Structure 1
Amino acid sequence: MMSYIISKVSQNTSGNSKYVDRADAIERFLQQKRDAKAAQKAQASNSNKETTNKTDK
């Protein structure tokens, strides 16, 4: 979704890169949050597996 927004902003700003830079920064921030959430979920799953000796389903 952000890639689509970034492409539209790029098309509509015709050389005004501050909006594209801001959209890129937002995309990087959101990706970091998704990565952190995935790592947290994996860690919780591994912890649960160690405790119960069963995998999450």
Structure 2
Amino acid sequence: MESLNEEDKGDDDDADFEDVANPEPTIHNVELMLNEDKMIKTKICVLKTSRTG
């Protein structure tokens, strides 16, 4: 049982580390993610048009 508890603590540490890295999943962070998706989509479109052109 002790080993299982240690594993659980490890998972909690990972979660805490993520919380520290991203303290608040704010609207700003969501907007950055959406902007990244838009950039990826536009890059794909550019690649498609450059191939056909």
Paired residue secondary structure (1:15): coil
Per the TM alignment, residue 17 of structure 1 is displaced from its structure 2 partner at its CA by: 2.1
Q: What fraction of aligned residue pairs are identical, expressed as a percent? A: 3
Matched with 1:41 is 50
Mapping 1:9-24, distance limit 5 Å: 11=21, 14-24=23-33
Q: Which has the higher contact order (CA 8 A, sep 6+)?
A: 1
Structure 1 CA distance for aligned equivalents of residues 48 and 25 of structure 2: 36
Give runs of ≥4 in structure 1 deviating > 2 Å.
Answer: none
Residue by residue, what CA displacement relative to the aligned partner does 1:1-57 show, whole Å, maximum 9, x if unpaired? xxxxxxxxxx4x62142111000010011111100000001111xxxxxxxxxxxxx
Q: TM-score, normalised by structure 2?
A: 0.53
Query: How many positions carry a matched residue from both structures?
Result: 34
CA-atom RMSD in angstroms: 2.0
Letter in 1 for 2:35: I
Matched with 2:39 is 30
